[in-house]
Amino acid sequence: MRRFFLTIAVMMVLLSSARATTKGLSQIVTPELQGPGDLSLSFQAQSERIANPYELQAEMGLTSWAEFAVFRGFKPDDWIFSTEFGLLTKEPYLLSVGFLNWSPHLDVDPQPYIEAGYYTEHQKFIVGAIHAGYKNEAILGYAYDFNRTWRVQIDWLSGAENSSTIGFTCNITRDFQMNPALYINNGPGHDVFGYLVFSYTFHLLGKAGGKELEKSEK
């Protein structure tokens, strides 16, 4: 029965890439991959000026080098698909490719991207590019992990219709996370918008969950 409900959740609901400690940044995809067999389910609320105001999301690690994700938006009604493939997956150097924001329902083409990362214990640097519609856009991101609970993060996507963001991630448990952020529009006026996402990760291949991890850290 539990597997049945998880399957339905996968079908109904993307999320940025994930590690064992913290999720990706607020606006941009990140070059690290979801662990094989890890399923992250999320609820996202945001200003209509950013995107669909209410979304369910699912992200599934398929192998050590591939993952698949889907958004379920409600206003407008939409399904959005994304993928990520790791070319370099051993930290500190990461390199990933894939596509984002493919919406067959609204006839939106997939947006291919490439991203590189340099990840240390505390600092994460991200640079890349994405092809969206008729133009190429630059991607920049930085995160600082104070510990396994707290991360601060900033990111930027070029283009007047895109934004810079500043926010943080709090790991309430090892598997349950909260990520609030502010979006500052790149265009005239630099309007500010709100964003909030809650995520929970299931370890479908029997990996140690939050309680086991907490015990091992003591």
Q: What does the pLDDT read at residue 92?
A: 96
Question: Exposed e or buried b for every residue in 38-60, given b needs 16+ CB within 10 A?
Answer: bbbbbebebeeebbbeebbbbbb
Q: How far apart are CA 32 and CA 116, in angstroms?
A: 9
156's tokens: 């930027």
Q: How far apart are CA 101 and CA 179, in angstroms?
A: 20
23, 179 Cβ separation under 8 angstroms: yes
Stated as kind and residue range, the H or E segment containing 216 is helix 210-217
Q: What does the pLDDT read at residue 206?
A: 67
Q: What does the pLDDT read at residue 24?
A: 62
pTM check: above 0.85? no
Mean pLDDT in consecutive groups of 10 residues from the start of the chain, 218 residues: 40 35 73 93 86 88 94 87 95 95 89 96 96 93 95 94 93 94 92 93 72 41
Looking at this protein, which amino acid is placed at residue 42?
Answer: S
Stated as kind and residue range, the H or E segment containing 7 is helix 2-12
Spatial neighbors of 27 by CB under 8 A, at least 6 apart, are 155, 156, 157, 162, 163, 165, 181, 183
Q: What does the pLDDT read at residue 23?
A: 56
